Structure 1
Amino acid sequence: MTQNKTYAGNGKIWTIGTILKWTQEYFSAKGIDSPRLDAEVLLSYLLGKERIYLYVHFDEPLQENELIKFRELVKKRAARIPVAYLTGQKEFMGMPFKVNRHVLVPRPETELLVECAIERLPSEQTAVFADIGTGSGAIAISLVKLRKNLHGYAVDISAEAIAAAQENAGILHVEDKIEFLQGDLLQPLRDIPDREPLAAIVANPPYIPLADMDTLEPEVRAYEPADALTDGADGLNFYRRLLEESKELLVADGFLACEIGIKQAASVKKIAAENAWGKIEILKDLAGIERVVVLWKQK
C-alpha cells in the first residue's frame, strides 16, 4: 500500500467503510439525527460518486488529501451546518436543486404541495400559475418540469433567492417557462400590464411563529434564512395577506394552495371564511400532519 493511501502519518489505512463507520459514530455523539445518511452524502459528494459507489467499493482506501477534505466537511456538519449547504444542492421531486444560505433547503413535505397542484391544474390547455416566495425555485420549476402545459411566475422579495431560482431553472432547462419577479408577495403580479388571470397560486410562506423559533433544530435556526421561516409574529400574517388579496388574480375556478404549519389548519380555515373563499381542502402528509390547504375561488 502506498504512503499516500494512509492518513496524516498515523499509519492507519482508512477505507470507505472505516471512515463511514467512524463518521457515523462521531455524528451520533454530536446529536446528528441521521448520522449514517449524512456521512454517506458528504463522502459521495467529496468523491464525486453516487452513494451506491460507497457500498460497491467499501474496502477502497482513501487518499490523504481526500481524508483531510472529508474531515473538514465532517467538522462543519458537526457544527450543525446543513448537509445541503455543504454540498450546495438538495434533491426535490427527483431533481437536483442548487441551494445556498439565501434560500431554504427544500423539504420532502413540500412535495405534497407540488403534487396537489399538479392534480388540480388543467391537464391539457395551457395554464398559468404563480409561486409566491419561490426561494430556490423548487416548486415552480417542478411544476413546469412535470407538466408541459404549464407556465409560471416565480416571485420572491429576495434578489439572492431570485438569482438562485433562475440558476436552477437554467440547469433544468425550463428558464423559458418561468418569469421571475422580485417584490413583495403579490405586488409584482399586479404590476404586469394585461396579465391574464391565474389558474393557481401556490406558496410555502414563512409560517413558523416567532415564539417557536428557539425550538427549531440548530441547522434550521442558525443557518437557514430567518425571514423565510417566520413572519416575526404568530406565523399567520402571510396567510392573512394571501387570502385577502389572491382571489382577484385567479380565474373563476382557480385555487390558492399553501403549505401550512402544524396545528395551523383551523386558523387558516377561519381566515378563509372571513374572506369568503369557496371550497376548502386540507391535505395530510405521510406523517398524518395537516400540511397543505387548498382554497377554491368558488364553492
Structure 2
Amino acid sequence: MPVKLIDIINSFDKILDVAGVEAPRQNVERMLEKILGLSKVDLYLDPKRQVSDEDAAQLRGLIDRRLNNEPLQYILGETEFYGIRLKCDRRALIPRPETEFVVSKGLNLIKDKKGLNILDLACGSGNISIAMAASSPYQNYYASDLSLDAVSLARENAELNDLADRIEFHQGNLFEPFKKKDIVFDMILANPPYIKESELAKLHEQVRKYEPQLALTSGQDGMDFIRQMLTEAPEYLNRRAYLIFEVAFDQMDTIRDLAENETKFDVVEVVEDYSGIERVIVLRMGE
C-alpha cells in the first residue's frame, strides 16, 4: 500500500538516528533521490506525494545496508569529489574531502602551464587525476595503483567524465610501471595508505569492514609506502618538480624531518585541512 513520502522520510530518519548513523536524514534523502530520480527540493515540494510499494521496498533494502554500516557512497554507487561525479564501490577507497587540498595545491602550481607530465600515484578511484584533468586539461596525465580493481574503477571514472583520452592508466607497485618508460614527471600527487596496521581494528566498522585494506594501512607505523615513495620518487622527477601528498593527522612532523634531512626534497608548504589538522605536504626537488 503506497505511503506518503514525508512519512517515509521521517520514519527511516528516526530508525537511522536511533542506530547512531551520522546525518540520518541526509542518508534517507540521498537514497530517495537515487530511487525516485528527484532532487532534494523535489522530495518536499508536494506534501501529498506517495511512494509505491516497490520503491518503498527498495528503500528498505538500502536502509538495511546502511544499518550494517555499509558506507552511503557504496550504497549509492557514486560520490562527488572536487565538483565531479565518480562511481564509487568497494574496489577503491572512498574519496575524502581532505584530499581535495592535494588537487587544489596541484592546480595552483601548474596555473597557466601546459604539457606537463603529472602522475596520480596510488590512484584508487582516479579522483585526483580526473579532478586535475577536468580543471587543467592541457597536461599529460598518468595514474597508477597496485590494485587492478582500483585501476579498473579509475578507468571507468575517466570514461564517465569524458577524460579517458586524457589519462594513461597503469597497474603496479609505486613506480614499477614506469621503470622501462622514458618518462619523468613534473608533478606527483598522492593520497597514499598511511594508517598503522595496529590501528586498523580501531577504525569505524564502515571503514574497516568495507574499504580495501590495501588503500588504508602501510606497515607498523603507517609510513612504509611514504618512505619508499620519498626514496624512489627523485628518479622519476624533473629538477624542481613537485611531490604533493596527504598524510595522517600525527605524521607531519616525522615526514617533514624525513624530507628535509634524508631526501632530495625541500619542504615548500604544509597545508591544514578543514579541521585545522596538518594534512597535505608540498615538496619540491632541490637544485
TM-score, length-normalised on structure 2? 0.96
Contact 2:77 2:88 in 1 (8 A): yes
One-letter code aligned to 1:143: M
Following TM superposition, by how much is the alpha carbon of 1:119 offset from its aligned partner in structure 2, in angstroms?
Answer: 0.6
Following TM superposition, by how much is the alpha carbon of 1:250 offset from its aligned partner in structure 2, in angstroms?
Answer: 1.3
One-letter code aligned to 1:97: L
Write the distance in 2 (CA, Å) between the matches of 1:185 and 1:287. 30
SS of the residue 1:21 aligns to: helix
In the alignment, which residue of structure 1 is the partner of 2:209?
222
One-letter code aligned to 1:30: A
In the alignment, which residue of structure 1 is the partner of 2:198?
211
SS of the residue 1:176 aligns to: coil
Write the distance in 2 (CA, Å) between the matches of 1:140 and 1:294. 17
In the alignment, which residue of structure 1 is the partner of 2:265?
277
Following TM superposition, by how much is the alpha carbon of 1:51 offset from its aligned partner in structure 2, in angstroms?
Answer: 2.1
SS of the residue 2:281 aligns to: strand
Contact 2:120 2:189 in 1 (8 A): yes
In the alignment, which residue of structure 2 is the partner of 1:242?
229
In the alignment, which residue of structure 2 is the partner of 1:19?
8
Relative to 1, partners in 2 of residues 1:275 and 1:48: Cα closer, same or farther, differing over 3 Å?
A: same
Following TM superposition, by how much is the alpha carbon of 1:200 offset from its aligned partner in structure 2, in angstroms?
Answer: 0.4
Write the distance in 2 (CA, Å) between the matches of 1:22 and 1:87. 20
**Superposed counterparts of 1:48-87, under 5 Å:** 48-87=37-76
1:288 pairs, out of 273, 276, 282, with 276
Write the distance in 1 (CA, Å) between the matches of 2:172 and 2:46. 49
Calculate the aligned-residue CA RMSD, in Å: 1.3
Contact 1:252 1:298 in 2 (8 A): yes
Q: Which moved more, 1:52-61 or 1:258-267?
A: 52-61
Following TM superposition, by how much is the alpha carbon of 1:123 offset from its aligned partner in structure 2, in angstroms?
Answer: 2.2
Q: Kindly tell me the number of residue pairs found equivalent between the two proteins.
A: 286
Is 1:257 the equivalent of 2:244? yes
1:176 pairs, out of 165, 174, 192, with 165
Following TM superposition, by how much is the alpha carbon of 1:57 offset from its aligned partner in structure 2, in angstroms?
Answer: 3.2
In the alignment, which residue of structure 2 is the partner of 1:198?
185
Write the distance in 2 (CA, Å) between the matches of 1:136 and 1:220. 16
Contact 2:144 2:172 in 1 (8 A): yes
Contact 1:279 1:297 in 2 (8 A): no
TM-score, length-normalised on structure 1? 0.92
Following TM superposition, by how much is the alpha carbon of 1:70 offset from its aligned partner in structure 2, in angstroms?
Answer: 0.6
Following TM superposition, by how much is the alpha carbon of 1:244 offset from its aligned partner in structure 2, in angstroms?
Answer: 0.7
Could you list the structure 1 runs, at least 4 aligned residues long, displaced by more than 4 angstroms after superposition: none
Write the distance in 2 (CA, Å) between the matches of 1:88 and 1:214. 25
Relative to 1, partners in 2 of residues 1:58 and 1:82: Cα closer, same or farther, differing over 3 Å?
A: farther
SS of the residue 2:207 aligns to: helix
In the alignment, which residue of structure 2 is the partner of 1:11?
none
Contact 2:195 2:217 in 1 (8 A): yes
In the alignment, which residue of structure 1 is the partner of 2:135?
146
Write the distance in 2 (CA, Å) between the matches of 1:275 and 1:232. 20
2:77 pairs, out of 88, 103, 114, with 88
1:121 pairs, out of 105, 110, 114, with 110
1:188 pairs, out of 152, 177, 182, with 177
In the alignment, which residue of structure 2 is the partner of 1:135?
124
**Structure 2: gaps spanning 5 or more residues:** none
One-letter code aligned to 1:169: A
Write the distance in 2 (CA, Å) between the matches of 1:58 and 1:118. 45
SS of the residue 1:248 aligns to: helix
SS of the residue 1:175 aligns to: coil
Structure exhibiting the larger radius of gyration computed from Cα positions: 1
Following TM superposition, by how much is the alpha carbon of 1:166 offset from its aligned partner in structure 2, in angstroms?
Answer: 0.5
Write the distance in 2 (CA, Å) between the matches of 1:27 and 1:271. 44
